[in-house]
Structure 1
Amino acid sequence: MENPKYELIIEAQDMVGQLYGLLGTATATILIDDKNDHSPEFTKKEFQATVEEGAVGVIVNLTVEDKDDPTTGAWRAAYTIINGNPGQSFEIHTNPQNNEGMLSVVKPLDYEISAFHTLLIKVENEDPLVPDVTYGPSSTATVHITVLDVNEGPVFYPDPMMVTRQENISVGSVLLTVNATDPDSLQHQTIRYSVYKDPAGWLNINPINGTVDTTAVLDRESPFVHNSVYTALFLAIDSGDPPATGTGTLLITLEDVNDNAPFIYPTAAEVCDDAKNLSVVILGASDKDLHPNTDPFKFEIYKQAVPDKVWKVSKINNTHALVSLLQNLNKANYQLPIMVTDSGKPPMTNVTDLRVQVCSCKNSKVDCNAAGALHFSLTSVLLISLFSLVSESKLELAPILSLNAVRM
């Protein structure tokens, strides 16, 4: 809409307007600028709105009238909530297309805290009013908001729930009793519990009182346990129509128990029947448990199975030992039972057969890859002994490595 305008034709005549005087005309165009001389007024004094608890978004559009030019700031409305919004749960913005006030919920409302809200809204223009015009009672309106009750899911407290237990507790042990409350306090609903996610199938929950107990032996070394923590999820379901569900997380920290025997590696070795160096192989040991239930490991020959004095096991460090011969053996395959024991209380022991193949290496003809195996064993002995020495004496590593490299 264009601003209204007036066109005037102005005539000028000389000779004081005598008939024989000369005449001239000109056109004057006058544009009328709109001033904010009309205050905006609500179309009604009260507005009604309803909203479900927990919902957000626009709940009502407030309408106003303004007689000023719609293309100017004298017409455009600016809304303000002046009362009833202490928690800043509501906001109002102007729709630029029709000048309506869009009242929105920006923080979910709780029916159990307050089922009704009353807001006092003021509307003004972007441009100031002219001095002789003021905002009157029609520039304010009241909005009555009714909050509708919605069945909310029960809430676990605390969440997550955390307990610490030894990994080998007996089946049927009670871990805890979960606690979930229903936010719908005015509905007096009952709650039932169930297992939602129990990856290893270790747990059971009483559907009435929420007591959680074990249905299997808890194992810290299980693939379902991460960083010694087992995670399970439970549901709390209320009796609403329809029922609502809440989810709670249980974190079980499993303390390590010495329930895994150590094992050795490798379990096979080769050596020449006429070897000058009688070293056979370096054995390492590992354990699935945690300290102090792992190393230092103790390596021994299982004497009951090997009564003769042919083999020797020497400690290198806390996790490795050297198997060597006390004399050359004839070409054959031998089974050497190695017993390894961890440092747990009580300790656990494992006996594993080390398969040793004694090969004929005469005349540079080797009928098994004994030379390679022996070279690896000798190099490994030197390196592991070296690192053990550095670890115990805190010597500088570079000079020692250089020295041994020259000797080798």
Structure 2
Amino acid sequence: KVYSRVPQNRLLLLSFVLLTAWRAGSAQLRYSVPEEAQHGTFVGRLAQDLGLPLAELVPRLFRVASRAGGDLLEVNVQNGILFVNARMDREALCGRSAECSVHLEVVVERPLQVFHVEVEVRDVNDNPPVFPATRKNLFIAESRLLDSRLPLEGASDADIGQNALLTYTLSPSEFFSLDVPSSHEQVKPLGLVLRKPLDREEAPELHLLLTATDAGKPELTGTVQLIVTVLDANDNAPAFDRTLYTVRLPENVSVGTPVLTLNASDPDEGLNRDIIYSFSSDVSAGVKSKFHIDAVSGAITVAGLIDFEESQVHKIRVEAVDKGLPPLAGHCTVLVEVVDANDHAPQLTVKTLWLPVKEDAPVGTVIALITVSDRDSGANGQVSCALTPDVPFRLLSTFRNYYSLVLDSGLDRELVSGYSVVVTARDAGSPALRASASVWVEVADVNDNAPAFAQAEYTVFVRENNAPGCHLVTVSARDADARENARVSYSLVERRVGERLLSSYVSVHAESGRVHALQPLDREELELLRFEVSARDAGVPALGSNVTLQVFVLDENDHAPWVLPRGAGGPASEAVPVWVSRSAGAGHVVAKVRAVDADAGYNAWLSYELQAAPNGAAAGSASGGARLPFRVGLYTGEISTTRSLDEADLARQRLLVLVKDHGEPALTATATVLLSLVDGGQAPAAASSRAAAAAGVAAAAGGAAALLDVNASLIVAICAVSSLLVLTLVVWTALRCWAPAAEGACGPGQPALVCASAVGSWSCSQRRRQRVSGGEGAPKADLMAFSPGLPPGPLSEDGTEPPASLDCSGKVGFPHILQISVR
């Protein structure tokens, strides 16, 4: 006979439950593959179903990021097909679970996308029904009543669904038939029903074959051989007060905790009613390791660890055997339902994707993928996640217990170089359990900071005629970035200085920033060298900044005084006679020696002295013993009489004037002055001669008093010549200022150094060419003027003060100085 264990309505209900569970846990894509599929079995066109072009799979790093089932499935990145990579045993993966699937997390980058795919592993009928043993011994008293039932141990099938639906058949027998309980009587065991009285003398032993067949295709079967031994006497078996006992037991209870005390009774007397309790032979070893039954009292206690996550229900079959001969047994079932406790903390798995993170990464960049799980159930298994406060990141839930750690705000490596991000998972149990995982997120540098100099401007003072290669200054710039982005190199900002390039004057070391002078500098050519040094980092793209350097060239006494020509176009060494009337009184200015010095300050402060005439030609009187009738102003260079001239004085006087500056050491020059003494009648010729000399060298104004006796024609001639000279100077100055193509007096040309005399009047002490190199544009001219209200200085021989002078080196000079820069 063939019996079915599951009626049709139960199959419909099971199908409805499975469909509901599938809809509740559906992922973005869901495939199905039978277990035991061979390697390379096609599962699905993953890329096509996700809408990803095949040409973008390799560039976007299409891959399976996490495999919950190991390497069972693999994807071909060339065609996007998902295929079976290894043998899948559904029973090993999911056991007896109705639903079995492998969860895949598929990741593509640039931009990052995460997809969740579930592959259902379908059951195939690859496991036959299995009985606890291949041989079963049954003992039945010959006095057993008809229709009495002997329980049998059923077979088990590792498959599920239709593949696990078993039907049983019994080999033909006139004494026994097979009793298969309906599905709602799951606690009622399979049994043999006695249909014909037994006679031990006629048939002391019977051999039966019980076959179990599943509903799979193809069908698989399992058998057990039943050996029935017919016994005498003891015709009442023990009976329990209930056939099914249900107990709720919390997990993790201590060993020895009582579970239940069974009670069975036997109406026989004597040894036939003494009962021994034991677990049935079909109880698994795992159940026996967790529970213990007292053979005499029937009390069941906890003997091992009770873990809800391991098994939620324990089904224990108990038998009570009397001591009669033959012994008879009664059976019952104990269902122990395990109540879950919050005994498992959440588990966190962190898989980093982008580390380190660049400081210019956009908001929303995915840093890591986080998976959370909890082995508990119900509220004890509901997990929530949180991040460390005050970090520029946030958690984004992608699918069930899957999260992405994403950038929530901008980063700045110069402020914070890294973050310790702690992810904390907390379940909803009571008390709640927590778990945490930390991720060090390093911030990678990008070149977003230009080098910054330590000073806004560098000012350097160097003496002229310096040695080639001398060190001027060291510039320093710092970059807040790191590594290559902070490696600074220095260079000159090239430009022209006059007719030459800046790089012919100075150089800068690319690594140390040391600035050197490549050649001796000449203050008379270049007083101020203004240029820029650039600092650039090694980042991509490189960033840079500039700083201005001002190199002031200090004067040295390297130029001797130079006597100005005394005749129009004549050299300074050529002596031009000066006519002096013998009627001139003491203090009368007869001539003036003019000299200039290209240096500055004390090095250009000139003094004048009379020296002995060459070849013994003295400037004394005829007697040779009289005092010299002429002297020279120490600082003015004016030659004047020291007394009234008389007939004893020689008619021709040769004066040698020594011009000396105040440098260390002092440099000198000489000028020869020829004086011709004339009588009063020859005064016109002498005056005419002095007028001609005044046109070439601008004679001193003090001689005007001696010319009052000159006739009117000579006075008109002098005024005309002077007016012509002044007009020429005015026209020349105007042309220099407004001529577009020439350097004018108002432009960067030849500035004049003007000093105050002893009485506060203005006179030109020297005229020189100054060149100043700025950072941009043409050179500039500086006008230095001394205030006439100066404190008294040392007196010369004639009682006058020496003129104030400008010392550009900063060593000596008067405090009241006005500097006007004309650009």
- State the TM-score bracket (shorter-chain normalisation): 0.3 to 0.5
Q: TM-score, normalised by structure 1?
A: 0.46
Scaled by the length of structure 2, the TM-score of the pair is 0.25
